[in-house]
Structure 1
């Protein structure tokens, strides 16, 4: 895609030009001409905004999200007469990467008990998830796995155990790169699978040692309709694992070299914005760039990544979070939103991403949000002393204090503004609250 894909009018007759860069699933750049043009234009711009979408690879929808955020951001500046730097000449980059064609697996609701409509969106999503998962399997296990789950709404415990063994062996055989935790055994995962079949868990119970399902994972299990396990829950969990890994690969291998070039070869102010798994893209890009100077700002919108990612010590394990160095690679405090109204990240993510209890005394048996929760669902953990939680600021009336020595500011999008949540769902991240957060990071005062 050469040349700017879209131009946004600015005051004074200038424009903010949006370039789109497409990457494949391994992070290989598919838009080399556009990238070269971006590099050639760096000498003439003051600010570069790099955006990464999350759970969405339909080109039109990804583009629509970029246009919505950029258009709202520009309009809000005019509305509140927000100042800009004297050399404000922005260039915009939108990353297009293959995540999935549909919403995040749990965002449309579980739909577990009933058979999917053969021609409906649920059926198409199941087909896509099955294709994604089986492409990660070996030639020996692929036919067996397909026979176990294809076209089935319910499978028995023995079949579920074998299906879990196959998928875990292919997609979760190693410790999680974000927090170093070991993967669950297939038997342990059946307990998680049961919880996913029932729609996930909402708020943790009063007893911190009880997270919903107790007992041995091999006995007394039930699922949709009380008669077995729904294969769609396994596919959804496996899709989360694969997309999370892919986001890291796209960020490190694809976007990272461009970020390194921008920070090494120019003096522009670089602003990074990532939504959902797009947060993983921009985090991995900056980490892999090993920049000679910091980026100017980073805004993470409902990030689908472990909440301990910035910690120097993950839950007392002695392991640092995978992105513990990132706050030091950003000039201004990192802003990251979270919301109690983000159902995928508060009800399902920590179940899909939970690790084994083995060798970790005192860890919860199932889906502990404290340990495995999403940054966008529960806010950051393990960053005491350098972070603070702040309610989402009212646009035009309230400001975030970026000069108090904090490195991470968690913006609570669950608070009400004008009678509704500031961030009312996982995908509702282009609104006055998020534009205002971006202005907080980019305005010169």
Structure 2
């Protein structure tokens, strides 16, 4: 459908048009009329001076994406009016929200269920496993699909030999090459089995989940605030572990005991969604970014949450444009913390998004928070590569090599990055003119007795709006 999907009221009267552009899992545009209108409008300097482009994380039916974008834009506008934050002159913004397929089941740390809590074996729990299986096997050739499906279908436990075989198949299909963020080689089957066991052990240690009380809802799961509002800081992500399903079943991690194949499905979906986010960014949003930077003078502001950070980073990386974007704000990004480094530890290459630092005018700003349980407790286990020669005790839980940018902040950026506590809205400012190319905002600090960023989904709040204001204000 052509035309803006919604109008966001602006302070002082008027409104900003919000367009939603939908992409499929290959980055193919599914909203051609709306996209054509955006392209035409940004070329008219009398119409558009600033383009704000958003990419959501995991929770992506169309209505939820709209709600996330509407909430962030409205909060941003309201805060600007409350503090009298100056705007460029002239200022005629246009908002674009990318909608890409990362369904509610596929992010195990955010939407994975507590299986024991659902007495209906044919309810949401079973539907989740079906969706995970379909997502993973869609990348397999027919013979591998048959072997994999027959090994895991309907099973709550497989022996070690079967676990190793299905791990081989998953790696072959989904992790065959070097990691695009950090260049690490793909895990060997034994590496993957170690991570599989570690994830389950983490769930065991936390009872119902990683660090949460039994029955705690996952951060961002249906029924909780999700991407668009502050999450329950005590809520724990559920989904990798299955303690409580069948108390008499053996759990992975001890020699000779069985592995629950659902945990591997959940881990493999993380790999799949990571790759999909990159594809959507490069082939979907990338051409629009290139158009704005080539055929207009509008300032381009990119904002991405979780795997949406990978969408906007991939878009900017692949865009061949004569000028840089104005700013990039990453909110709890689910990308490797070495992704901007000129030299990644243990490899002979730069981080996958190092080149982005030369394609943005203002310092790239990224948040991280110790309260983000998915990115501080799970990400490095699911995304680890091969040992890279480090001691075995560091291989599985190595947050230095495999940690998330949104969990621990950037690595390998000596002299290029600065870490700042989250600024108090209306009071603090960030050192945009200090020479750093990356400003890492610590959202784990308290402001007025509450965490600045209380969880993975808490990315539309006064602290994040203030960060975007700092990046976009003319002074």
TM-score for the superposition, normalised by structure 2:
0.86
Q: Is 1:313 aligned to 2:343, yes or no?
A: yes
* 1:34 paired residue number: 34
Mark the CA change 1:116 to 1:336 in structure 2 (over 3 Å): closer, same or farther. farther
Residue 403 of structure 1: which of 411, 433, 439 is its match?
A: 433
* 2:308 paired residue number: 278
What are the within-5 Å matches in structure 2 for residues 99-248 of structure 1? 99-102=102-105, 104-108=107-111, 111=114, 117-199=120-202, 222-223=251-252, 227-248=257-278
Q: Structure 2 CA distance, aligned partners of 1:238 and 1:420?
A: 35
Mark the CA change 1:71 to 1:418 in structure 2 (over 3 Å): closer, same or farther. same
Q: Structure 1 CA distance, aligned partners of 2:74 and 2:259?
A: 45
* 1:50 paired residue number: 53
Q: Is 1:360 aligned to 2:363, yes or no?
A: no
Deviation digits for residues 247-267 of structure 1 (CA, Å, limit 9, x no counterpart): 111101111111011001000
Q: Structure 1 CA distance, aligned partners of 2:147 and 2:106?
A: 28
Contact 2:425 2:466 in 1 (8 A): yes
* 2:454 paired residue number: 424
Deviation digits for residues 190-242 of structure 1 (CA, Å, limit 9, x no counterpart): 11100111236989xxxxxxxxxxxxxxxxx9528994212121111111111
Aligned residue for 1:140, secondary structure, equals helix
**Aligned-pair distance for 1:362?**
5.2
* 2:240 paired residue number: none
Contact 1:116 1:122 in 2 (8 A): no
Q: Is 1:345 aligned to 2:375, yes or no?
A: yes
**Aligned-pair distance for 1:2?**
1.4
* 2:419 paired residue number: 389
What are the within-5 Å matches in structure 2 for residues 293-332 of structure 1? 293-332=323-362
Contact 2:54 2:303 in 1 (8 A): yes
Mark the CA change 1:264 to 1:315 in structure 2 (over 3 Å): closer, same or farther. same
Contact 1:338 1:378 in 2 (8 A): yes
Aligned residue for 1:242, secondary structure, equals helix
Unpaired runs of 5+ residues, structure 1, are 204-220
Q: What is the aligned length?
A: 427
* 1:61 paired residue number: 64
Q: Structure 2 CA distance, aligned partners of 1:102 and 1:80?
A: 39
**Aligned-pair distance for 1:119?**
4.3
**Aligned-pair distance for 1:13?**
2.8
Contact 2:113 2:125 in 1 (8 A): no
Deviation digits for residues 257-293 of structure 1 (CA, Å, limit 9, x no counterpart): 1101100100000000000000000000001002211
Contact 1:224 1:230 in 2 (8 A): no
Residue 375 of structure 1: which of 374, 381, 405 is its match?
A: 405
Mark the CA change 1:109 to 1:425 in structure 2 (over 3 Å): closer, same or farther. farther
Aligned residue for 1:107, secondary structure, equals helix
Q: Structure 1 CA distance, aligned partners of 2:124 and 2:368?
A: 28
Deviation digits for residues 334-384 of structure 1 (CA, Å, limit 9, x no counterpart): 110011111111111111111111x53557321310000110111000111
Q: Structure 2 CA distance, aligned partners of 1:121 and 1:76?
A: 39
Q: Structure 2 CA distance, aligned partners of 1:166 and 1:151?
A: 18
Aligned residue for 1:409, secondary structure, equals strand
Q: Is 1:86 aligned to 2:89, yes or no?
A: yes
Mark the CA change 1:402 to 1:67 in structure 2 (over 3 Å): closer, same or farther. same
Contact 2:11 2:77 in 1 (8 A): no
* 1:206 paired residue number: none
Contact 1:110 1:197 in 2 (8 A): no
